[in-house]
Structure 1
Amino acid sequence: MTVKSSISLTDRQDAFVRSLVEEGRYPSVSAVLQQGLELLRLRMEGEEIQVEALRNLLDARREGSFVSGTTMKGRIAAIADKKRRARDI
């Protein structure tokens, strides 16, 4: 199903869209705008997936064990020392 809509573009946007059609990259102005909307939809869906993944990660971290700053500094120092020793060999 196709729905006709009336939209307003800035002069710059209109020139860009028309140049894409004139170059033969798209068959019509409508096709350019449809592609743009599809890309926006995909981007927003991707962002929603990323936000959900971050929420899940934060929830998992909240439920996990807490490591103090001092302990973490010690762990980082040990990893750095191990890398330095491996590099010097």
Structure 2
Amino acid sequence: MNIKTTVTISERNLRYAEKMVEEGVYPSVSELIEASIEQMMLNRQSPDDAVANMADEIRQRMELPREQWIPLEGDTMFEEVRALISKKKAEKRNGV
């Protein structure tokens, strides 16, 4: 059930919303606002969700073959990570 209400938004946001409607991205400003609220609801996670997602990511990474793991030694770990990041950035710049 839809409920009619009144909202106040900035002129800038209204112009943007109307532009999106003019371009056919949304059928109306109301639909744009509703879609934006739905997106915010989907993106909102409870702390439990965040921990569960982190646990899932760790499990996925643990399933990688050993040769894809990054070996790190205790005292030099941060230097090794920084060097690895620099190497990856350089490869990306050089198109490798």
Unaligned residue ranges in structure 1 (runs of 5+): 55-72, 81-89
Aligned to 1:22: 22
Q: How many pairs align? A: 62
- Secondary structure (helix, strand or coil) at the match of 1:25 reads coil
More relative contact order, 1 or 2 (CA 8 Å, 6+ apart): 1
Q: CA RMSD in A?
A: 3.2
C-alpha change, 1:43 and 1:22, in structure 2 (3 Å) is: same
Deviations 1:12-54 (A, max 9, x none): 1000000000111111010000100001001113776115656
C-alpha change, 1:46 and 1:38, in structure 2 (3 Å) is: farther
- Match for 1:3: what amino acid? I
Q: Which has the larger radius of gyration?
A: 1
TM-score, normalised relative to structure 2: 0.51
Aligned-pair identity in percent equals 27
